Amino acid sequence: MSNNKWLFSLLLSSLVLACSPAQENAPADAGTTRSEPTRQVTQYDAETFFATTTLFGSSVSHDNKEVLVTSDADGIFNVYSYAVNDGSKTQLTQSTADAYAGISWFPDDKRFLYTADQGGNELNHLYVRELDGSVQDLTPGENLKASFLGWRADDQAFFVMTNERDPASFDIYRYQVSDYSREMVFKNEGGWAGMELSPNGEWLALAKVNSNKDTDIYLLNMTSEAAQPQLITDSDKEVAHTIFSFTPNSQQLIYGTNAYGEFVQAWAYELNTGQHAVEYADDWDVMFVYFSDRGSYQVIGVNADASTELTILDRDTGEPIAMPDFPAGDLQGVNFSDDESLLIFYLNSDTSPSNLYVWQVGSDQVSRLTDTLSPAINPQHLVASEVVRFESFDGIEIPNILYRPHQASAENPVPAVIFIHGGPGGQTRKGYSPLLQHLVNHGYAILGINNRGSSGYGTTFYHLDDRRHGEDDLQDIVYGKQYLQSLPWVANDQIAVMGGSYGGYLTMAALAFTDEFDAGINIFGVTNWVRTLESIPPWWATFRQSLYDELGDPAEHAERLRRISPLFHADQVQAPVLIVQGANDPRVLQVESDEMVAAIRENGVPVEYVLFEDEGHGFRNKENRIEAQEAYLNFLNTYLKQEPMQ
């Protein structure tokens, strides 16, 4: 069965926009040249936007009849099966509190694995649902975190990593499919940050983070007790390497490297000969490479200007497979059935949330299994974004995702919000976002800024903000405001700033260290960098040095960290603020928001506070997302449009 591919974000990010089709770069003045006539649209409330269903996961059952999918259709993420023949769905888990995420069907029956934490605390356990519907926690215990690592090629065992022995280190266990008995097969005493097992279970790829610019890959022969990890990416330069996948025959390791230019390329390492060769290169970062189980197909994803360009190659011909026509959108979650007769995938775009599709390989028709957009929403009333760029204070070109409301014109200029992603090294991407579409629908222009330090635009751009946070990247936000003010359809005296996690930090920095913005929305944002960096969760221990390289060591750079922390400069905040926080957040502790709210109130500045007792770093319960969304809109209406709060 296909291994689940996890994109592990090591920095503080949560609000990530989904992917959608790539487009040609728009010129810097693209927002001023749109020729469509201004028109009025139906305005939908937050509940209607969040009646849209979020789906992910595409594991195909052994009999090719069902797809394992995670869905929030009932208000909280649960696990469902979708019938391949007609899209009918069956709810398989019944959580009413914690979010559940499906991982994989078992290779030869309808048991399945899923994961869940407790109230957003990120301490995920791995569970199995038996054929009779009973559930077993495969990783019981307190204060541990576990994740699925993959199936062995013979389908008789699977691998799990947990930090139960040492909160700062993840060990690997092999579980038997028959009775779930387990054996530790790798004791992580080397501070390894990333791990990937070959399909035959004989080789283990290990990532060692040396700094935020330098990550090495080692290879361990698991068949020899005396073997030691061997470095396979030796370089006299600082180079970032990423483990992608092993080939199905366990003969090659595919990895990413930025050793040969600004962007990540995929390279192949031959296990038998030790030879390296380029596997795939593009003018943008290669994000992932993986294979169908039998090895006939290779799936490659490229981060092309904030969209995902996905290529599926026939490995016999080396050419992209010929698929029949299907609607426009980014392909995501691509997965083949074990026998490679079915291809399951999602399509997503700015104006269409992810829908699940199935293709009988070689046939002339693709079938859609879901319809996830709220039935009350007319897709014509949604807005497709465009990629725009402006020059910042030092001439650096800053890429952005711009949403122009249908109501906007030179005769009817609209207020605007600069939306800042998390990270620091995240990226605002094209794709469907109910959060942004709801605000755009209500007449707010959105500039999703990819300030310096964002991923996807080359190594140099990514590192431009190292230990310059709250300084150079903040100037990008200010110049983003100036760009918006240059657009004739934007009300240049009604501009707010908004973001989550690191974006929440830059929001508060924009309010504390400039007087440029009329209001700000801080969603679980850092306000005290000294405390945040001192309270890094133990399971991030292997990334601690990388975080210090990026932001600063609180023991050595406390003075600078205090200087850029909004909490210590709260008396300078003069614009109204909305702060939203999860009480169980292990990354940005509730005390960060509590103290910020108290300090702003002491100044007599308007501040609103929404605290969710059952959420962590990101809001998973649909009712909470609706409540937060209503708070965003009411706050903006009150302080930008100056309409009475509803």
Distance CA 636, CA 487 (A): 20
Q: What is the pLDDT of residue 383?
A: 98
Q: What is the pLDDT of residue 516?
A: 97
Q: What is the pLDDT of residue 441?
A: 98
Distance CA 532, CA 522 (A): 16
Q: What is the pLDDT of residue 528?
A: 95
Q: What is the pLDDT of residue 545?
A: 83
3-state secondary structure of 399: strand
**Half-sphere exposure of residue 618: CA atoms within 13 angstroms, side-chain side:** 17
3-state secondary structure of 440: helix
Contact (CB, 8 A) for 464 and 394: no
Q: Which long-range contacts (CB under 8 A, 24 or more apart) does 210-213 make?
A: 210/238, 210/545, 211/238, 211/545, 211/546, 211/549, 212/463, 212/466, 212/546, 212/547, 212/549, 212/550, 213/238, 213/239, 213/240, 213/459, 213/463, 213/549
C-alpha pair distances (Å), 256 with each of 12, 214, 592: 22, 12, 36
Distance CA 293, CA 338 (A): 6
Q: How far apart are the first and last CA of the chain?
A: 51
Contact (CB, 8 A) for 513 and 538: no
Q: What is the pLDDT of residue 15?
A: 34
- For the chain, which ranges sit under pLDDT 70? 1-38, 644-646
Contact (CB, 8 A) for 584 and 518: no
Query: What is the distance of C-alpha 362 from the center of its chain?
Result: 32
**Half-sphere exposure of residue 452: CA atoms within 13 angstroms, side-chain side:** 27
Q: What is the pLDDT of residue 36?
A: 52
C-alpha pair distances (Å), 397 with each of 138, 193, 302, 391, 550: 49, 33, 21, 5, 21
Which residue carries 């807005």 as its tokens?
383
Compute φ and ψ for 623, nearest 5 degrees.
-60, -40
Q: What residues contact 432, with CB distance under 8 A and at least 6 apart?
A: 18, 20, 52, 348, 349, 350, 351, 352, 353, 354
Distance CA 3, CA 254 (A): 14
Distance CA 49, CA 44 (A): 7
